[in-house]
Structure 1
Amino acid sequence: MKSTRTRTTVAVAAAIPLACAGLAPHAFADSARTDSPSPGSPSPSSSVTPFGPGCSSLPNKGDGSAVAMAREKVANAVAANPKLSQLAAALKKAGLDKTLNDAKKISVFAPTDEAFKKLSKSQLQSLMNNPGELKKILTYHVVDQEITRSELPSGSFKTREGSMLTTSGSGDMFKVDKTANITCGDLKAANATVFLVDQVLTPPK
């Protein structure tokens, strides 16, 4: 009788580790599926898809990248982008940096540093020394709605300056007011959509 009980106990004891070993991979898999993303990881829904011939020159990571810009309010995103340093200085000079950061769902046609270089030194200096005119020019680059790519082929939008701005083109190639090229569009900031342009825009007279 004692021998029978001993054999039964040994069999049960041997079966327990085998059962646990069989369950372990499933338990690990379930745990892996329910783990939350590490802090700071962008969620799949927050991915951005910029378009245009100039997008390839943006940094792949760090300041100025599409992912980094998407995390910042628009004036902060501009200030962190090495291609937009002159625009960042102009926004600050005109007192528009906080205004744009506080705005919601806007679009900004952002002249790159190369765009500002197309102005003569005297033109740029005169503009930077005239806050009223500077504000007028810069607000012409801002529209109080999030413009989508599908609206660009034949778009007409009222700017914060008060005048109408137009867009035209197709595919990845679009123009603003028939003169400035959108070099990289659909860049997302936390509160805005940004379109990089290769000219400083001027309101119609």
Structure 2
Amino acid sequence: MATHHVRRCAVLAAAAFALPIALGVAAPAFAESQHSDPFGPACASVPKEGSGSLAGMAKDPVATAASNNPALSTLVTAVKKAGLVDTLNNAKGITVFAPTNAAFAKIPKADLDKILADKAELTKILTYHVVGEKITPKQLTAGTFKTLEGGSLTTAGSGGTFTVNGKAKIVCGDVQTANATVNIIDTVLNPM
């Protein structure tokens, strides 16, 4: 009789575990842990191989990965001037909205030089581009996220077309690095 009780408990435990999976209850958590392919028009210009490629960037922490992407050299210079390389490379599960060189070029040179020379202001601007959590493309459709700077930014859109704060366009999104998700944007964001 005790043997039947043990077997019945084992069968019930197995059914209790299998039933939610069969009903798809556990599936969303698994699906959200998976990431989609990068999207956006600028993804086509990312090198196809080497450390600056999408596969190469996935092997390195975010600041190192960005330094291997020629379109992000101004951002990398700014990150170095602000002393944020180690902070970004050691963070876990963050999302970085990374302005391209063309985004920085929209800022008048005198203004950009002034920002690059002011470490406190530069740090404020750069940390406004970082969210302390992994943001999926699904969350970008209508999201509000707290930044490391302390403010918040908003995202909107669908498919492969998203904006940040209603102004910056994500030109290559959901790029994975060893410790971060990167959304490359066409405009430098200003803390609110």
Structure 1 residue 167 corresponds to structure 2 residue 155: yes
Report the 3-state secondary structure (helix = DSSP H, G, I; strand = E; otherwise coil) of the residue aligned with 1:54: helix
Query: Which is greater in Rg?
Result: 1
- Structure 1 segment 10-49 matched on structure 2, within 5 A: 49=37
Q: Which of 41, 44, 47 is 1:59 aligned to?
A: 47
Unpaired runs of 5+ residues, structure 2, are 1-33
Partners in 2 of 1:122 and 1:143 — Cα distance? 28
% same residue: 52
Structure 1 residue 85 corresponds to structure 2 residue 73: yes
> What letter matches 1:195 in structure 2?
N
Range with greater deviation from structure 2 (63-72 or 48-57)? 48-57
- Structure 1 segment 36-185 matched on structure 2, within 5 A: 49-185=37-173
How much is the aligned-residue C-alpha RMSD, in angstroms?
A: 1.3
Unpaired runs of 5+ residues, structure 1, are 1-45
* TM-score, normalization by structure 1: 0.76
Superimposed CA distance per residue, residues 73-123 of structure 1 (whole angstroms, 9 cap, x where no aligned partner): 001001111110000010010010100011000000000001011011001
Contact 2:143–2:156 under 8 Å retained in 1: yes
Contact 1:48–1:67 under 8 Å retained in 2: no
Partners in 2 of 1:54 and 1:109 — Cα distance? 14
Partners in 2 of 1:148 and 1:48 — Cα distance? 8
Count of aligned positions: 159
* TM-score, normalization by structure 2: 0.81
Partners in 2 of 1:131 and 1:157 — Cα distance? 24
Report the 3-state secondary structure (helix = DSSP H, G, I; strand = E; otherwise coil) of the residue aligned with 1:162: coil
